[in-house]
Amino acid sequence: MATDDINLSSMPGRYAGALFELAADQGQTEQVETDLSTFQSLLEESTDLKRLIASPVFASEEQGRALGAICEKAGIGTLTTNFLRVIAKNRRLFAIPQMISAFKALAANARGEVTASVTTAQALTDEQIAELKEALSQSVGKNVQLDISIDPSILGGLIVKIGSRMVDSSLRTKLSAIRAGLKGAA
């Protein structure tokens, strides 16, 4: 399996790989991916959940019970809930963000997709997003999904990262290169 940005030998990669195989065997890959996205959203929104995940103060049993209740309330499926409980029991919850990313990369790879992280200075229009998707798809030869973030500090242009490849055409980088060139000429 050609996985440009998935390190299956890392601890998060091994857990994600095991969950992916289990989900694929049960025909639940799409459901687990949705559940993990839901959990990721909850994690991003809640400082209490972040604390529960990261703090070694909580016993693994407490974490498991809390995660079970959270998953039930959020409508997260049994397979994903059990996975989160196993991670809690094994004291690996601190790595759940990396596990989620690795699982999503495995699922996308299985669908023949690749995800491009795109950073822009301002929001892109639907037309610009479609053009960027098309250009990137032609470049990599796969269907490209975009993960777009906005960072006004880049001033303009784009930073695109696909796997281990990155193209930085941001205005901030270009200005820094000009500044460095001018310092060298002085």
Tell me the backbone φ, ψ of residue 46, rounded to 5 degrees: -120, 115
Q: Answer whether residue 1 is part of any domain.
A: no
Each residue of 103-125: pLDDT tens digit? 998 998 899 888 888 999 999 99
Q: Answer whether residue 3 is part of any domain.
A: no
pTM attached to this predicted model: 0.70
Q: Answer whether residue 64 is part of any domain.
A: yes
Same domain, 133 and 152: yes
CB 5 within 8 A of CB 13: no
Domain carrying residue 139: 113-185
**CATH no. for residue 153?**
3.40.30
For the cut 50, the answer to whether the pLDDT of residue 99 exceeds it is: yes
Each residue of 24-33: pLDDT tens digit? 999 999 999 9
- Report the domain count for the chain: 2
For the cut 70, the answer to whether the pLDDT of residue 20 exceeds it is: yes
Same domain, 103 and 120: no
Could you tell me which residues come within 8 angstroms of residue 19 by beta carbon, excluding any fewer than 6 positions away? Answer: 32, 79, 83, 99, 103
Residue 39 CA to its chain's centroid (Å): 12
Domain endpoint, select from 66, 88, 108 = 108
| pLDDT confidence of residue 59 | 93
Q: Could you tell me the sign of the dihedral formed by the alpha carbons of 100, 51, 42, 119, in that order?
A: negative
